[in-house]
Amino acid sequence: MKFLQFSFKIVLIAVYISAVVFFIGCAPPVEKKMLSCPGAGSLDESIQRLKANSQNIVSFRGNGKCQSVFYDDGRRYRENFSVKIWAEPPSDLRLQGDIFFDPKGIVLGSNSEEFWFSIKPRLSTYVWGVWSEQDTASAGLINPATLLEAFGAPKITDRHKWKLSNDKVFDILTKTNDKGKPVKKIYIYCCDYLIRRIEYYGKDGKITLIAKLDEYIKADNNFFLPGLIEMVTFDRKGNENSFKMSFDDFKAVEFTDRQKRALFARPEPRGFNNVYRIIKGDAVEQTK
């Protein structure tokens, strides 16, 4: 079972019991009237302007709310729960969702070597993996790297695979694979040069994940973070499934070594009924 398919199954069930769902949509990039400003004159200029905000990012924490809307067997469900986030870009992240009166009911985390996702209530499932064991097809739904990019740490590597275009409102950075098919698109609002949308594509060239970013908040150290992050998808019947997080503010923090170990070190999967390790896109069940 591939990671993407596995993630779909795990997350869909998780949402059904007040968890999280990260899915996609094909809505147009511009959803409200925006001004037209001059874009970057070259790919190098675009990358440098994009880095102007990300280079100021420091460790931060924030509290917010999450609303998920999804369909299952033709029925529409809506769930609301609080979330907390701690991050030390570009690799360390921890997101907690408070469900069923458990502040750690859902945990999504990563560091430079590993990533993990766990949900305690009812499902009792723990999923983890090592970044070095993944490939591009492993960028599934349970992926902290997507959230890190949404919070201002986009990965612009392999410069020769990127192209710049402009639609008068957005500068659009497009990364393609060896076959010329899109892998990722980053929409940057020309008037403030902050990311408003990131599209991720599968091997077939179709969109697999979209992150919409808005309502940026100026935090300490003169950097900006999106106060609103929305991820949306449409199921096979055309129903829209969405996951939306809203934050009132962010605080820059300096984590102690003890805090880093507590927040960003992968915990052992003790007490979970189901444990899976992701290896090259495959979910391998772990024996107890």
Q: What is the pLDDT of residues 124-160, one digit of tens each?
A: 889 999 988 876 544 444 467 777 787 866 778 788 9
Going by their DSSP bridges, the two strands 125-130 and 274-279 should be labelled as: parallel
What is the spatial distance between Cα 15 and Cα 131, in angstroms, rounded to a whole number? Answer: 25
- pLDDT in the model for residue 51: 84
In three-state secondary structure terms, 121 is: coil
Q: Is 5 left (phi over 0), alpha (psi -120 to 50) or beta?
A: alpha
In this predicted structure, what is the pLDDT of residue 219? 78
Q: Are 146 and 22 in contact (CB under 8 A)?
A: yes
Q: Which helix (H) or strand (E) holds 78?
A: strand 75-88
Closest by CA to 205, choosing from 181, 174, 186, is 181
- Please, what is the Cα angle at 114 between 143 and 188, to 5 degrees? 40
Residue 18: the pLDDT is 31
Give the DSSP letter string of 2-31.
BHHHHHHHHHHHHHHTT----------S--
Domains of the chain: 3-276 (2.50.20.10)
Q: Which residues of the chain have pLDDT under 50?
A: 1-30, 137-142
